[in-house]
Amino acid sequence: MSMNNRNVITTILSTFVSVGASVCVASDFTIENHGIATEVNGNEISLQFYTPSTVRVIKNSVGTKVEKQSLSVVSTPGNVKFNARQSGKYITVKSDSITVTIDTASGKISFLSPDGKKLLREGDNVSFTPVDDAGEASFKVRQDFCLDADEPIYGFGNLENGRLSQRGLKRTLMPGNIEDGIPVFVSVKGYGVYWDNYSPTTFVDDKDVSYFESEVGDCVDYYFMYGKNADGVIGEMRRLSGEVPMFPLWTYGFWQSRERYKSQDEIVEVVNKYRALGVPLDGIIQDWQYWGNNYLWNAMEFMNPEFNNAQKMVDDIHANNAKVIISIWSSFGPSTRPYKELDSKNMLFDFSTWPQSGIAEQWPPRMDYPSGVRVYDAYHPEARDIYWNHLKRLYDHDMDGWWMDSTEPDHLDFKAEDMDTKTYLGSFRKVRCAYPLLTVGGVYDHQRKESDRKRVFILTRSGFFGQQRYGCNVWTGDVASTWETLRNQIPALLNFTLTGNPNSNSDIGGFFAGAYNKSYGDNSAVKNPQFQELFVRWMQFGAFTPMMRSHGADIKREIYYFGNRGETVFDAVEDAIKLRYSLLPYIYSTSWDVSRHNSSFMRPLMMDFPKDRNGWDCGDQFMFGRNILVAPVVKANYTSEKIIDIDENTGWNRQENAGNDAVAEMDFMTPVNTDIYLPAGTSWWDFETNEIYKGGKKIVKPTTIKTLPLFVKAGSILPIGPDVQYATEKSWDDLEIRVYPGADGEFTLYEDEFDNYNYEKGSYSTIGFSWNDKTRTLTVADRQGEYQGMLSNRTFKVVVADKKSKIVNVSYNGSVTTVKL
């Protein structure tokens, strides 16, 4: 790419070009396919347009050969028309959506909006420091950026630092157990930057400069995306790295889990009890050790004698109208068939991973009996084939999905030389952060090839940029059962959303909860008001995450352990579950908006109200879909928050159990005032009371343990589903349609077969609802599309939140219908 090898036409000072042009402009830059190239201060700089709003920037030392195949980015440069011009010392390149300038004296790049507003500029430092990467010559690479002093930025993964805006962040970004650092951020100014590097990458933001620095890289490689707002940036991210496939409807119901069900009778009994109680449930999860001892770790077979008829287990669960997913890992014990096959092909790593002891039954672990468990080389396509070939034994049992644990993967007793481990794509250091992307992608791709009869559903502990394309929901790992951790989950999941990944959740109640037991293992915490209050609040928050899943160690969390119907805690938990089910038509329609229009489930206030500075750093409230404001109670109103510190290391060492004793019973129904901020620019309806408030101010709402503060934006239209025990129990033939007046509004109800991939072939329907606030008229538009089993005729029960009109039954046969209310 040296300028000496380029055809330079020095008489042309500016030109208008499109894809395929090979014209050079002046001596300072060359027009190439999809962009330009230049050389400044010993560095080659290349700009490549992927869309009119997204440009890739590549920098490398002159003479350095760069051949990079992105693992996250799956699109290619597009047919983008742009204008390139040199004026003085600046090269200016314009598309319809962004302007990029390069200072030919310093090489610094600036990005501007079409109207000339400065969005982002590079700082003074771009550096390539030679390093030895496991015997290969490479570089530590760094690029500086300059942000406005008052400019909040978001993203970077599901960091557990309790902050929404990540200004001032200093963090090495890489996958881990309880957080996944991802090198991408979004600005409130409507742009984003993805740093395309898979080695451990540090992001630093201080008063002087912001920068990315990666341990290994042949070049600086990043993408600037201008979307005008956060939704637009996320759209650009997904155009680069893959769209979001739809999950089945049943994934949005309530999920119960535990570390762990110790027999097939136990897991089936849990489903039976939920059905007997009449508490809704859609899924249950079998955690680890169904395979037997640790030498058989992740054998992908049922060799534990307590699971002696696995097919009957699956069939019994299905017969009770529930789904089951099962734990699988990225590592294998030495006595398993996958281990032996992978080992014979040198596709296993040698660094220490979980579990370290071969004896699962003893605690603390017997380290004199090492497990021999090893992580597999997910970077190798043949290794991913082998993984699926063994996983197919479980798939053939008609499993409904996969709980892919330790996809970071677990890396214990870290030694620097571990990073020299050879992988199919180079050193482990070079590709470390892409491990979850590739191991999860391997399962998704193979199952899609296997059959389209059911949609892929993967619950996984780690994520990376682009992983949204692989049908996965990422949870925040083995988080502690503390109020601080609960509060941290909200900004963590919101920032994860802003990496382009819309599907996430956390262990409801926190994973390590033993501190709330009087003594380890007696399950007393379910009667401990300190844990009861925390668990209820986490359940209420969990009802408004993309997956509602109760899970953890030390405590059995099934609803019937918390008491009986009619008792406060039981009822509060059941209320949260039933609220979730009532909103399934809204949630499923939102999932279509996510897949089709690049929307998001959990939305920080800055997404929908970017002009309201009061919402820029609001980390304890969020929009769920485009209509519902969720303000969960995330502080203890009735008990003490005092708890010892717990993390995934102390938790697994059982050091958390010196914590709190049970306290006296509490009156959880005593009202306590809760402060809530209502964003400016609209009015808000209290979902519980149907009172309306003007936005742009704080209000005080009395709450009890049963209260989850929810507010609906004026102009919203919400479909409310039937009372069901599982998601598909009843058809949606008599949905309640709630209209929240005060502004014009619209909503699209989406329906399909609720599973399989026929929707990708056009088998689905949409029904548009629009509200004219001035005339108080609701119009139900012509139905668009069709699918097998579609309701041809139905009744909508329409009600307006202000109660000025009674419920109106609207018969609908697919043709436009108007009703005045």
> Structural domains in the chain?
3-189+191-226 (2.60.40.1760), 248-470 (3.20.20.80), 482-712 (2.60.40.1180), 731-820 (2.60.40.1180)
The Cβ-side half-sphere exposure at 18, using a 13 Å CA radius, reads: 2
Question: Tokens in use for 791?
Answer: 């309701």
Tell me the Cα Rg of the chain: 27
Q: Hey, is 2 helix, strand or coil? A: coil
Catalytic residue among 405, 410, 507, 574: 405
Give me the long-range contacts of 446-455 (CB less than 8 A, separation at least 24): 446/384, 446/385, 446/388, 446/391, 447/388, 447/395, 450/392, 450/395, 452/756, 452/757, 452/758, 453/756, 454/248, 454/400, 454/755, 454/756, 455/245, 455/246, 455/247, 455/248, 455/755, 455/756, 455/757
Question: What pLDDT was estimated at residue 654?
Answer: 61
Torsion of CA 335, 429, 500, 437, to 10 degrees: -30
Answer yes or no: 405 catalytic.
yes
500: tokens are 């382009």
Place of tokens 């390539």: 128
The alpha carbon of residue 65 and the mean position of all alpha carbons in its chain are separated, in whole angstroms, by 35
Whole-number Å distance between alpha carbons of 186 and 165: 10
The Cα–Cα gap between 287 and 264 comes to 11
Residues of the chain with pLDDT under 50: 1-27, 520, 656
DSSP one-letter string for 305-350:
GGGS-HHHHHHHHHHTT-EEEEEE-SEE-TTSHHHHHHHHTT-B--
d(CA 502, CA 403): 18
Could you tell me the two tokens for 506? Answer: 């956390």
SS3 515: helix
Calpha distance 707→385 (Å, rounded)? 49
Does the bond joining 529 to the residue before it have cis omega, within 30 degrees of 0?
Answer: no
Contacts of 152 (CB under 8 A, 6+ apart): 164, 165, 167, 187, 188, 606, 616, 617
* End-to-end C-alpha distance for the chain, whole angstroms: 68
Task: Please confirm, yes or no, whether 44 is among the known catalytic residues.
Answer: no
CA distance 536 to 542: 10
DSSP state for residue 389 in the 8-state scheme: H
Between CA 228 and CA 611 the distance in angstroms is 12
Q: How far is CA 591 from CA 223, 502, 717, in A?
A: 27, 9, 16
> Of residues 32, 478, 620, 751, which has the active-site annotation?
478
Q: Report the alpha-carbon distance of residue 73 to residue 87 in Å, rounded.
A: 33
Quote the CA–CA distance of 374 and 358 in Å, as a whole number.
12
408 catalytic, yes or no? yes
733 and 696 in contact (C-beta within 8 Å)? no
Residue owning tokens 């090898």: 5
Instruction: Using alpha carbons, list the distances in angstroms from residue 507 to 78, 489, 548, 651.
Output: 41, 10, 9, 14
Which three-class secondary structure string do you get for 533-588?
A: HHHHHHHHHHCCCCCEEECCECCCCCHHHHCCCCCHHHHHHHHHHHHHHHCHHHHH
> Among residues 144, 236, 408, 656, which one is catalytic?
408
How, if at all, do strands 283-286 and 764-772 pair?
unpaired
> What was the pLDDT predicted at 361?
81
Contact in structure between 640 and 647 (CB atoms under 8 Å): no
Q: What is the pTM of this model?
A: 0.95
3-state secondary structure at position 386: helix
Residue 334 · residue 297 · CB < 8 Å = no
* Predicted pLDDT at 2: 38
| Tally of residues, the chain | 821
What's the number of CA atoms in the CB half-sphere (13 Å) around residue 483? 17
Can you tell me the distance from the alpha carbon of 538 to that of 666, in angstroms, rounded to the nearest whole number? Answer: 18
- If we measure between CA atoms, which residue out of 545, 624, 583, 592 comes closest to residue 732? 583
- If we measure between CA atoms, which residue out of 378, 369, 327 comes closest to residue 348? 378
Q: What's residue 9's pLDDT?
A: 28
